[in-house]
Structure 1
Amino acid sequence: MRTNWKAAVAAAGAAATVAAVAAWPAGSASGAAGAGPKGWILLDHEGFDEPLRVDAAKWRLDPQGPRSPWHVDAFDDDGEAWKRISGPLFDKQLATLNVFRKRVAFGHKGWLTAEVAAVDKDRDGRPDSRPGLSTARLPHGQKAARLSEPSWDAGVLIRPTRPLPRHYRVEMTLRGIEFGGKRHGTFDYNGRHNGYTREPCKTRFPWTFQGALPGASRCDYPNVTRENGFYYMTILDYATPAPHGNPGIHYRRKAIMDGYYSDDERWKNAGTCNPKTGRIYRTFDGTFNGVNALFPRGDLFREAANNNISNEYYIKSACGNVSMDKPYGPGGKFQGHLTSAELQPHLLPKAAYRFAVERDRTGYTLEMSGPFLHTGQTTLRVHHDFVENGRPIWHYNQTPGEYDGRFDRRLLHKGPAGTYTTGHSWPKGSAYPDSFIIGDPHLNYYEGSAYIDDIRLYVPRR
């Protein structure tokens, strides 16, 4: 597992504000944008007032393999796990495409990094689409960043250049979102379906949880256009997140706030919380613009559905607490995601939504603020201890001393051609730095655009 993070651990291990600030560049924008939330000091801030130069950066061919700057582990784009469970078919299918990337630091002394990737399906030496991150001006004159992903076979995300401090609050402001969901009661609008343009053959190829699909060509793979989404603010367990094939990220998340807009049949019994009444209603009866606030469990995996490549989730909301492996709600009538609240995209950019994650000495807090459906302007907060009632948050420890190895286990990942074994999923002596992502980390899912305003990083007051 990922334990080679000496520099990250040093940066993340400071217990006091002074040490946390020292892990970041001298002269950070502390206090530059006014007072922060009570108990927090502003360490860095990006308001997108200066032009972004991401789109002008040159594309780089990802060489793949362990020497790639974007390599992660066995669940990487060309990882050993997929090869083992798929046999030679996976390599054959992966060889039909290239991946081009950009990695561009920006913000005050480069404290943020844009990771942009696009697939070259015909291997002509150029990416097939032009995803990017650029400066935009909102209707009232304020500047923001436009995250643009015109094709599903690409990804764009924003992350911190360095791992986050031991204790922190990180937040972002959303000013616009067009990554699917319903508008005016329908998934079909602006010539698109669920935010996707209507060209054929938009599939998961070649990355699935089961590995390569025998006898299936690119267009025979499952269609993705019923599933769109966006990561508002999510914490991962390694230092350099970038867009990859869809399954890999499901093994790397510590705390999640995302949107998943899908009318797929498997979500027909999922529920959505009405924060005003505390009652759950059927997601299919809503607008499909919900926010999922999820804590990945370190003791339970989605063995049947995702081949032990995805954690199960624990959800806390104004409608109660839910473990997604069990039915919930009155009479146990709901199953799957319990969505915490629904956005109202038509109110943007005049209105805004703020998403924040806090890590303190006890655990993680997820916070969302804005004019949610049913409630109007409100702030919703939920907290989960690192280990709560025997239930751990996956890979919560930034240093070896924060964890004693009690949740380590052997995991089997079975596919059509073989089995890959993770001998130690969470060993004693491991360490996992925190890094946030905003955007789309998938190379074979999601399509659309979003407007992002302030991104702010705080550390605790002493």
Structure 2
Amino acid sequence: MRNLTRGALALTLPLVLPAALCAAPAQAAPPSAPPGAKEGWRLVADEPFNRHLDDRRAPWKPDGDGPSSPYNVDMYDNDGAYFDTVGGPAFRQQLAKMKTYRKSFAFGKRGWLTAELAARDADGDGRPDTPPTLTSRGGVAHLDEPAHQAGVVIRSTRDLPAEYRVEMTLRGLDFGGQRGGSWDYPDGRINGYSPDGCKTNFPWASGGDFARPECEWANVRTDSNGFYYMSIMDYRQVAPHNNVFVHAHRKVAMDGYNRYKYTGTGLLNCNPVTKQYEPYSAGTGNGVNALFMTDDRRYATMPGTEYLMQSECGFRKGGAIVSAVDMKPELLPEQPYTFAIERRDGAYTMEMSGVFAHVGRATFRYTRAFVQDGEPIWHYNQRPDEYDGRFDADWTWQGPGGTLTDRGTWPAGSAYPDRFMIGDPHMNFYEGSAKVDDIRLYVPD
């Protein structure tokens, strides 16, 4: 048995449990106020994408993973011990068939934002295959990802403060979901994916036969597409990784999880008018999931944390993933959406505004205290003295490669930064394009 222990910081003080909060919407400032002003908040950073941005100015560099890589985090990395365990020797054989290339560059005033792009080189020519791009045109950032074996995100360069509001405006979205009432698009794409070639989750999974050919792995084209509108992550070098890694490092997230022609019971839509749950098939596959992560494991064979989901239909822990609202991408860019996350007064709040199915133009806000009704928000503590270790646990994995224990998943003395992320961080899922504008950071006034 291999035991790996996560790093921890110094001594902690007793935990103070804040009461549950019902947050009021962030009010717009008077008409005479500068753009982006909000009552009760002070704008400290703003990116309107009015200056030219082009990732071609930054070079692609090979990333060999391992301890020497700046992207090395834990056992769930692209070359992590978790995959050696669940995949056995076949995992290393498959991983050797590709190389990872990355590029990273800061932008915005005083470099407060960072772009992270990743892609694979499978043909061995020393260049990434079908890489993603990040550019700006017409005052809008364009995130383009023509192949799912890549990733592109915008993140905060530095740790977010103890209390903050971060928001972005979405002006374009083409990462799956129905278009014109169909999952199969007139241009031949399927749920936003190109029809060319096989598209699978190779070479990362939580089980199964790792030795099988790439095209026999799980078909992502007929599984899901998606996009992260805003997420708070618990580590510093936020960048694209495999989907297993991403699921282990989210604190709160608003994302799309667009399941192709899904008719099962694992997904639900909330109708905000009737306040009743509806089958996933009753929507258009353009839902927004508002997920507070908690310490329980959602999956038996992988490290994804359980979901706490609040919507106009009520509260649910675990079970079917609830889309709080259904967007209408066909209205973009004329009718943009705004997504925001706040951390204030011992709680996180997720906010989404725009024109949604059933209800029209509306703003929805959902707030949970760091610890509420005995349920913590995963890795909420930015400092050791905010947490006393009560939710610590060991996670054990077994597979052809033996037994592996992840010890101290949330120990006393630990601390986890807040870093926001927008885009697609999954290097084995999701494909498409999006237009992002007006990323703003506020602190309490």
TM-score norm. by structure 2 comes to 0.91
Please identify, of 428-437 and 198-207, the stretch whose mean Cα deviation from structure 2 is larger. Answer: 198-207
Deviations 1:214-245 (A, max 9, x none): 44111111110121000000000011110011
In the other structure, the counterpart of 2:309 is: 315
> Are the aligned partners of 2:262 and 2:281 in contact in 1 as well (CA < 8 Å)?
no
Matched, 1:159 2:155: yes
Change in 2 beyond 3 A, CA 1:374/1:246: same
Among residues 444, 448, 461, which one is paired with 2:428 in the alignment?
444
- Aligned runs of 1:10-49 on 2, under 5 Å? 33-34=34-35, 36-49=37-50
Give 1:61's aligned amino acid.
P
Displacement, 1:264?
6.3
Helix, strand or coil at the partner of 1:340: strand
In the other structure, the counterpart of 1:405 is: 389
> Are the aligned partners of 1:202 and 1:219 in contact in 2 as well (CA < 8 Å)?
yes
Displacement, 1:4?
6.7
Displacement, 1:280?
1.5
Displacement, 1:269?
4.8
Matched, 1:183 2:179: yes
> Are the aligned partners of 1:236 and 1:255 in contact in 2 as well (CA < 8 Å)?
yes
Matched, 1:222 2:218: yes
> Are the aligned partners of 2:85 and 2:400 in contact in 1 as well (CA < 8 Å)?
no
Give 1:36's aligned amino acid.
A
Matched, 1:237 2:238: no
User: In 2, distance between residues paired with 1:94 and 1:174?
Assistant: 35
User: In 2, distance between residues paired with 1:420 and 1:276?
Assistant: 47
Give 1:315's aligned amino acid.
M
Displacement, 1:35?
5.3
User: In 2, distance between residues paired with 1:352 and 1:58?
Assistant: 32
User: In 2, distance between residues paired with 1:269 and 1:75?
Assistant: 25
> Are the aligned partners of 1:353 and 1:368 in contact in 2 as well (CA < 8 Å)?
yes
User: In 2, distance between residues paired with 1:246 and 1:88?
Assistant: 20
Displacement, 1:55?
2.6
In the other structure, the counterpart of 2:106 is: 105
User: In 2, distance between residues paired with 1:191 and 1:5?
Assistant: 52
> Are the aligned partners of 1:2 and 1:431 in contact in 2 as well (CA < 8 Å)?
no
Among residues 165, 170, 187, which one is paired with 2:166 in the alignment?
170
Deviations 1:342-365 (A, max 9, x none): 110010000100000000131100
The number of residues matched between the two structures is 418
In the other structure, the counterpart of 1:69 is: 70
Extract unaligned runs of 5+ from structure 1: 7-30, 138-142, 326-335
Change in 2 beyond 3 A, CA 1:112/1:374: same
Matched, 1:90 2:87: no
Helix, strand or coil at the partner of 1:193: coil
Change in 2 beyond 3 A, CA 1:420/1:237: same
In the other structure, the counterpart of 1:17 is: none
> Are the aligned partners of 2:269 and 2:324 in contact in 1 as well (CA < 8 Å)?
yes
Extract unaligned runs of 5+ from structure 2: 11-31
Displacement, 1:165?
0.6
Deviations 1:24-75 (A, max 9, x none): xxxxxxx995352221100100000000132331100002101101111111
Computed over aligned residues only, the root mean square deviation of the Cα atoms, in angstroms, reads: 1.7
> Are the aligned partners of 1:168 and 1:457 in contact in 2 as well (CA < 8 Å)?
yes
Helix, strand or coil at the partner of 1:188: coil
User: In 2, distance between residues paired with 1:42 and 1:302?
Assistant: 37
In the other structure, the counterpart of 1:345 is: 329
Displacement, 1:266?
7.5
In the other structure, the counterpart of 2:18 is: none
> Are the aligned partners of 1:86 and 1:418 in contact in 2 as well (CA < 8 Å)?
no
In the other structure, the counterpart of 2:125 is: 124
Displacement, 1:402?
0.3
> Are the aligned partners of 2:6 and 2:409 in contact in 1 as well (CA < 8 Å)?
no
> Are the aligned partners of 1:117 and 1:155 in contact in 2 as well (CA < 8 Å)?
yes
> Are the aligned partners of 1:93 and 1:206 in contact in 2 as well (CA < 8 Å)?
yes
In the other structure, the counterpart of 1:332 is: none
> Are the aligned partners of 1:308 and 1:412 in contact in 2 as well (CA < 8 Å)?
no
User: In 1, distance between residues paired with 2:353 and 2:6?
Assistant: 34
Displacement, 1:276?
2.0
User: In 2, distance between residues paired with 1:47 and 1:121?
Assistant: 36
In the other structure, the counterpart of 2:344 is: 360
> Are the aligned partners of 1:174 and 1:451 in contact in 2 as well (CA < 8 Å)?
yes
User: In 2, distance between residues paired with 1:53 and 1:114?
Assistant: 10
User: In 1, distance between residues paired with 2:177 and 2:264?
Assistant: 14
> Are the aligned partners of 1:158 and 1:438 in contact in 2 as well (CA < 8 Å)?
yes
Change in 2 beyond 3 A, CA 1:214/1:53: closer
Structure with the larger helix share = 1
Give 2:64's aligned amino acid.
P
> Are the aligned partners of 1:85 and 1:420 in contact in 2 as well (CA < 8 Å)?
no
> Are the aligned partners of 1:263 and 1:284 in contact in 2 as well (CA < 8 Å)?
no
Give 1:284's aligned amino acid.
S
In the other structure, the counterpart of 1:281 is: 278
Please identify, of 235-244 and 34-43, the stretch whose mean Cα deviation from structure 2 is larger. Answer: 34-43
Give 2:198's aligned amino acid.
C
In the other structure, the counterpart of 2:438 is: 454
Matched, 1:392 2:376: yes
Helix, strand or coil at the partner of 2:416: coil
User: In 2, distance between residues paired with 1:438 and 1:252?
Assistant: 14
Give 2:89's aligned amino acid.
P
In the other structure, the counterpart of 1:297 is: 294
Change in 2 beyond 3 A, CA 1:321/1:288: same
> Are the aligned partners of 2:229 and 2:254 in contact in 1 as well (CA < 8 Å)?
yes
Deviations 1:123-150 (A, max 9, x none): 221111131110122xxxxx10000001
> Are the aligned partners of 2:206 and 2:302 in contact in 1 as well (CA < 8 Å)?
no
Identical counterparts, % of pairs: 48
Change in 2 beyond 3 A, CA 1:2/1:279: same
Displacement, 1:275?
1.2
Matched, 1:256 2:253: yes
User: In 2, distance between residues paired with 1:58 and 1:276?
Assistant: 49
Give 2:332's aligned amino acid.
L
Among residues 244, 248, 261, which one is paired with 1:247 in the alignment?
244
> Are the aligned partners of 1:410 and 1:424 in contact in 2 as well (CA < 8 Å)?
yes
Change in 2 beyond 3 A, CA 1:386/1:283: same
